[in-house]
Amino acid sequence: MTQPSQITVPLLAWLRTFLVLGVLLTAAISHAKRLAPTPVPPVTIGGVKYSAPSDKMGYVVATNTNNGKELWRVRIYSVQINPILEEDVQHVFITSLVVSGGTLLIENERGDKYTLDVSTRKVTERK
């Protein structure tokens, strides 16, 4: 029959190793802070200003230029956040908004490119 002390010693060694690894990972991850994203200049098409807010990752916001009221916002892309890693270093923000006819050409920090048809609000990924 196994004695309680025979089980406890390996369990304590395993727990100690697990805790040490956890502390080391936490220390490494907690220092991974990113700088605020560079503001993207808004663009205007026919009395509507289109912007990429730095507080809402992956969105374009349409605002009436006459009264400043938000007309709509569209999610261009989403980013899966890994809960084990520091969240802010996983954020991917829009870096470019360019007008091309009745569409917006959008690019993010990863180099992903999208087109937003502003009349239908349809988002298409560009290659």
Strands across the sheet with 103-108, in order? 94-100, 103-108, 113-117, 122-126
Q: What is the pLDDT of residues 84-123, one digit of tens each?
A: 888 777 778 999 999 999 899 999 999 999 999 999 999 9
Nearest partner of 84 among 35, 33, 15, 30, judged by Cα: 30
The pTM assigned to this predicted structure is 0.68
- 16: confidence class by pLDDT, cuts 50, 70, 90: confident
CA atoms of 99 and 83, how far apart (whole Å): 36
Using the predicted structure, report yes or no on whether residue 50 has a pLDDT greater than 60.
yes
Looking at residue 57, its pLDDT comes to 86
Nearest partner of 58 among 74, 77, 71, 39, judged by Cα: 77
8-state DSSP, 88: G
- Count CA atoms within 13 Å of residue 73 on its CB side: 14
